Structure 1
Amino acid sequence: MPSIAEELLPETRRALLHRLATGQVDGRAPSMVAAVVRDGRPAWIGGRGTVDDGAVPDGDVQYRIGSITKMFLAVLVLRLHDEGRLALTDPLDTHLPGTAAGRATIGGLLAHTAGLAAETPGPWWERTPGTLRPGLADVLGDDPQVLPAGTRHHYSNPGFALLGALVERIHGQAWAEVLHARVLAPLGMTRTTLLPVAPHASGWAVHPWADVLLPEPAVDAGAMAPAGQLWSTAADLARFTAFLIDGDERILSRDSLVRMREPASPPEAATWDTGYGLGTQLLRRDGRLLSGHTGSMPGFLATVWISADDAVGAVVLANATSGPAVAWIAADLVKTVAEREPRIPAPWRPLPAVDPRVLELAGPWYWGPAPFVLRPLADGFLSLTSLPAGGRGTRLRPAGDGGWVGLNGYFAGERLRVVRDAAGAVSHLDLGSFVFTRQPYDPAAPIPGGVDPAGWRAG
C-alpha cells in the first residue's frame, strides 16, 4: 500500500468515515472500502462491513471494478496516439480490418459517439462466460450500428471490446499484458488483475425487500473483458487516481491526459451536468467538475472521481449488484476534503528560465478595445486571459515553429502567430484571425475593417 500523505484533520477523517458508513448502511452493501487521494498519495483509506473471511476490508482487498476498466483501455489507446501509431480520426478498419464496425473512428469509440449497440447480442455478457462470444463477430452481431455515427453519445460496451482488440493487433500481444507492462507495473499497481487474486471480495445481490444475499457469478468475459473485466483494490486505484490528477510522462503525455477529461461528446439534453470525454465520465456536482468513471458488474459497484482543480480524488468499491450509491459517495468524499481542507498552493517562484522572444510577448494586449493579458508559464506554455476574466481566454502550447496552439475555450485548436515588422519587433498577434495589438485598435496593425483615421474622439 502506498504511504499515506500528510494526515487529514481529525474532524475531516470522521466526516469521511461517517459518509462511508452511512453509504454502506443505506445501500445495504455487504462491504465497502474507500480511499481519498491528495498530494499524489492516499490521505485516507477506510472500510465498512465484512468480506468473506469476516474481516473489515482494507486497501488490499480486491473488488471487481467494471467499466473503470475502460479508463485503462483509453490510456493504452491514447498512448498509441502519443507514439504516432494511430490518429483518433482513423477509421477502425485502418488498424483492425474486417469487423462490422470498421467505419467507426477510434476517437468515436473512445467517446461512445460511434453509434454502436450498447450491448452484445444476447445472452447478457456480464453474467455469462466469454466462451459464448469467442470472436468480435459474436460481440458485434451482424449490424451493430443502431444510430448514425457522430450524432450523439450512446454508451457502447462492444465498442471497448473493439478497442481492446485494436491494442492487441498493434502491439501483437494480449491487451492485459500490454496494460501490465505499460501502466500497471510503472505505477506499482501489483493488485490489479484480469482475474481475482486473494484476498478478494465475493459478489452479492441483495434482496430488494429483505436483508438476504444471493451470490453472483464471476465470469471471464473473454473478448468483452476490455469493457469491464478488471479486479483491483482501493490502494491500487489510489495510485491510478494520483496518476489521473498529476500525470506521469512514462505512461501518457500531459496533453493526452488533459484531453481525457475534456468533453468529447454532447450530453443528453436533460443531463447537462454529465458528459463523457475520451474513456472518461464527467460530472458537475456542487460547482465542481469531476472526471473519472463508474463501474458495475454483477455483485460489484465502483467509482473513481477526481477534481483536477482541487488535486483531490476518491475511490469507492462495494460488493453488491445494486443499492449503494457509490458514485455520489465518492463525489461527497472529494467535496469533504476539498472544502474542509482546501489545497494550499505551492509557493510563488520566478520562472527558472524564459526565452527573451517569449518574454517580450508578456503583458497587455487588445482585441479591438477589449483588454487581455498574456503570461509565460513555468511549463513553457502561455496563458491568455481576458480582463475582466470570463471572456475568450485560453492556454496555449508551443507549436515548435515559433507559433502557438490554443488548448481550451473558444480558441481551442486555433493557431497564434507572432507577426513581426521589418526590424524584427512584434507588430501584433494573430489568433485564428483575431488581431491582438499593444494598444486598442492600433492603426499601425492590420485591423479588420481598418481604423477611422480621425482616431479616438470625445463623445
Structure 2
Amino acid sequence: MSSIPTELLPDTRRALVHRLATGQVQGRAPSVVAAVVRDGRPVWVDGWGTVDGRVPDGDVQYRIGSITKTFVAVLVLRLRDEGRLALTDPLAEYLPGTVAGEVTIGALLAHTAGLVAEAPGPWWERTPGTLRPELPDVLGNDPRVHPAGQRHHYSNPGYALLGALVERLRGQAWGEVLRREVLEPLGMSRTTLLPVAPHATGWAVHPWADVLQAEPAVDTGLMAPAGQLWSTATDLARFAAFLVDGDERVLHPDTVAQMRAPASPPEAKDWDHGYGLGMQLLRRDGRLLAGHTGSMPGFVATVWVSPEDSLGAVVLSNVTSGLAVGSLTADLLRTVAEREPRIPAPWRPLPSVEPQLLEIAGPWYWGPAPHVLRPLADGFLELGPVSGGGRGTRLRPTGDGSWEGLSGYFAGERLRVQRDASGAVSHLDLGTFIFTRQPYHPEGPVPGGVDPAGWRAG
C-alpha cells in the first residue's frame, strides 16, 4: 500500500539550500536559518553564515519582532472563544482610562482603529521600556490619526493595549499567560521574552562596506506585545503548523481560519497584501499566504503558511536591513509546493454521524440554484453550490439545534431546519435564504410565492 512521503526529495532540499545561501549572500546577512513544515511536521531546517563561529541550527534564538503580534492575537481570541469578550466590544469596557477606550478590540487586532503607528518619544525599538512606564506613555495625548474603520493603519501601540487587555482579564503578565496557554501546549520551549543562549547577536551592516555594528537589544516594557519575543526556527515551525491546522488545546481550527481571513481593507492600488486578525496576508505565485513579518534592530523574521498546500516556512536572520526575508520565505514555500505538490490523505468515512444530519444531507435548492449540504466531522456542515460558484459556507453546531455560518457571505448567519406538522423536514432557513428539496417547490415557503402555472416549456 502506498503512503505519503514524509521527507523532501534530494533535489528539493538542494534547491532550498541554494535559495537560502543566495539570500544570505545577496542580503549580506551575518547568518540566516530557515525551516519548512509540511503536513504538520518540519521536513527541512538549515542555516547559512555563522553565529559565534558556527552555522546556526534550529535551536539558535533570534528576535522575531512583530510576529509577536500574532501570538498576542491568539491570546485575545482565546478570551473571545471563552465568552470573556466580543471583538465588537470597546476597549474601555475592560481596560478603562486610556485615551483610546472607544476603539473596538477587533479593530485593534486588524489595525483599523486609526491609532498612531509608533509610540511617542524616542524610537521604542531601540530604547528601554522604562521610558514609557504607563499606558498613556505608549499612546500620547492624541493617538488618533484616522477615523476608526476607515483604513488599515499599522499600529504598534495598538498591540501594547491588547497585551494590557490580556493582563487585565487574566490577572497575570501577558508573557506568563502566553507561556502557559500557547507556548507550553505547542511545545515551544525556546520562545521567550528575553534571550536565552544560544542566541544570535543583532547586527547592522554598513551600506557601502562589509563591516558590522552591534544593535541594542532592549526590554521594551509595555511595548513588548508589539515585538519583544525571541524564538527559534524549530519553535516557529511548530507555530507555523498551528497556523495551518489549529490545535484544540490552544485555538479551534475555525478560529485560526478566522485569523487568516481579511479583516481590513487593502490600499486601493495594492490588492496583493492584506491583514486579518493578527496575521498579514500575501498573494504570491497564485497562493494566498498568511503569517507575519517581524523586525527589530539587528533582526528580521518571517513565518508564512499556505493552508491549501499544508505548508509553512520560517526564516530568521540577525541583520537590521538588506535581506528581503519575506520574499525569501515565500520562495521556500513555492519551491516545495511546485516541486512536490501536496498529495491528499486517503478518503475515509466519518467515524460517526447523527441520524438527523443524514436526514438533511444532500441536494437543496435556493430558487432554481442547486446546492449540496454535507455532514462533516464533529457535527459540522458544509453547504455549497453544485456549480462551484455562488455562496457557500461551513457551519458549526450551536447546541440549540441550529448551525452558525463560519465563512463567506453567510458567516455569522444561522441555519435552522424547519419541519412541517408531521415532523418531516420541509425546508432550510439560512439567514432568510430559503432552501427547498425541489427548485421553487410549489408547496414550499418560497419568498414571494411560486407562479401557479409552474414550470413550462418556452
Output the TM-score relative to the length of structure 2: 0.97
Match of 2:136 in 1: 137
2:115–2:155 contact (8 Å) kept in structure 1: yes
Match of 2:77 in 1: 78
- Paired letter, 1:286: D
CA-to-aligned-CA distance 1:32-90 (integer Å, 9 cap, x gap)? 00000112221000100111x21011001110000000011111111111222111111
Structure 1 unmatched ranges of 5 or more: none
TM-superposed CA distance for 1:412, in Å, is 1.4
Q: How far, CA to CA, are the matches of 1:438 and 1:34 in structure 2?
A: 53
Structure 1 range deviating more: 396-405 or 173-182: 396-405
State the secondary structure of the residue aligned to 2:349.
Answer: coil
Structure 1 range deviating more: 174-183 or 343-352: 343-352
Alignment of 1:106-145 (within 5 A): 106-145=105-144
Q: How far, CA to CA, are the matches of 2:431 and 2:245 in structure 1?
A: 31
Match of 1:399 in 2: 398
Q: How far, CA to CA, are the matches of 1:74 and 1:406 in structure 2?
A: 22
Task: Say yes or no: does 1:45 pair with 2:31.
Answer: no
Output the TM-score relative to the length of structure 1: 0.97
- Paired letter, 2:352: A
Structure 1 range deviating more: 346-355 or 231-240: 346-355
Match of 1:436 in 2: 435
State the secondary structure of the residue aligned to 2:315.
Answer: strand
TM-superposed CA distance for 1:9, in Å, is 0.5
TM-superposed CA distance for 1:380, in Å, is 2.1
TM-superposed CA distance for 1:330, in Å, is 0.8
Match of 1:87 in 2: 86
Match of 2:308 in 1: 309
- Paired letter, 2:44: W
Q: How far, CA to CA, are the matches of 1:357 and 1:251 in structure 2?
A: 30
State the secondary structure of the residue aligned to 1:66.
Answer: coil
Match of 2:350 in 1: 351
Match of 2:8 in 1: 8
- Paired letter, 1:373: V
- Paired letter, 2:15: A
Give % identity: 78
Q: How far, CA to CA, are the matches of 1:339 and 1:182 in structure 2?
A: 36
Q: How far, CA to CA, are the matches of 2:451 and 2:166 in structure 1?
A: 59
Q: How far, CA to CA, are the matches of 1:124 and 1:273 in structure 2?
A: 29
Q: How far, CA to CA, are the matches of 1:424 and 1:328 in structure 2?
A: 58
Q: How far, CA to CA, are the matches of 1:92 and 1:258 in structure 2?
A: 24
Task: Say yes or no: does 1:18 pair with 2:18.
Answer: yes
Q: How far, CA to CA, are the matches of 1:385 and 1:210 in structure 2?
A: 59
State the secondary structure of the residue aligned to 2:188.
Answer: coil
Task: Say yes or no: does 1:161 pair with 2:137.
Answer: no
TM-superposed CA distance for 1:122, in Å, is 2.1
Q: How far, CA to CA, are the matches of 1:99 and 1:419 in structure 2?
A: 48
Structure 1 range deviating more: 287-296 or 164-173: 164-173
Match of 1:33 in 2: 33
- Paired letter, 2:451: D
TM-superposed CA distance for 1:364, in Å, is 1.2
Match of 2:194 in 1: 195
Match of 2:419 in 1: 420
Q: How far, CA to CA, are the matches of 1:411 and 1:93 in structure 2?
A: 30
TM-superposed CA distance for 1:388, in Å, is 1.0
Task: Say yes or no: does 1:214 pair with 2:213.
Answer: yes
- Paired letter, 1:50: T
- Paired letter, 1:34: A
TM-superposed CA distance for 1:273, in Å, is 1.2
TM-superposed CA distance for 1:280, in Å, is 0.7
Q: How far, CA to CA, are the matches of 2:28 and 2:379 in structure 1?
A: 50
- Paired letter, 1:11: D
Task: Say yes or no: does 1:235 pair with 2:234.
Answer: yes
Structure 1 range deviating more: 29-38 or 372-381: 372-381
CA-to-aligned-CA distance 1:355-390 (integer Å, 9 cap, x gap)? 121101111111111111111112421111112102
Q: How far, CA to CA, are the matches of 1:379 and 1:18 in structure 2?
A: 44
State the secondary structure of the residue aligned to 1:36.
Answer: strand
Q: How far, CA to CA, are the matches of 1:351 and 1:170 in structure 2?
A: 39
Moved over 2 A (4+): none
TM-superposed CA distance for 1:311, in Å, is 1.0
Match of 1:254 in 2: 253
TM-superposed CA distance for 1:436, in Å, is 1.1
State the secondary structure of the residue aligned to 1:76.
Answer: helix
State the secondary structure of the residue aligned to 1:283.
Answer: strand
Match of 2:298 in 1: 299
State the secondary structure of the residue aligned to 1:366.
Answer: strand
State the secondary structure of the residue aligned to 1:309.
Answer: helix
State the secondary structure of the residue aligned to 1:192.
Answer: coil
State the secondary structure of the residue aligned to 2:309.
Answer: coil
Q: How far, CA to CA, are the matches of 1:410 and 1:174 in structure 2?
A: 38
TM-superposed CA distance for 1:255, in Å, is 2.7
Q: How far, CA to CA, are the matches of 1:268 and 1:446 in structure 2?
A: 43
Q: How far, CA to CA, are the matches of 1:362 and 1:170 in structure 2?
A: 42
- Paired letter, 2:310: A
- Paired letter, 2:273: T
Match of 1:368 in 2: 367
State the secondary structure of the residue aligned to 1:416.
Answer: strand
- Paired letter, 1:20: L
Task: Say yes or no: does 1:290 pair with 2:303.
Answer: no
Match of 2:455 in 1: 456
2:94–2:165 contact (8 Å) kept in structure 1: yes
TM-superposed CA distance for 1:277, in Å, is 0.9
State the secondary structure of the residue aligned to 1:360.
Answer: helix
TM-superposed CA distance for 1:231, in Å, is 0.6
TM-superposed CA distance for 1:305, in Å, is 0.6
Structure 2 unmatched ranges of 5 or more: none
- Paired letter, 1:332: D
CA-to-aligned-CA distance 1:151-190 (integer Å, 9 cap, x gap)? 1111000001111111111122211111111111122211
Q: How far, CA to CA, are the matches of 1:50 and 1:406 in structure 2?
A: 50
2:354–2:379 contact (8 Å) kept in structure 1: no
Q: How far, CA to CA, are the matches of 1:277 and 1:415 in structure 2?
A: 23
Q: How far, CA to CA, are the matches of 2:118 and 2:326 in structure 1?
A: 22
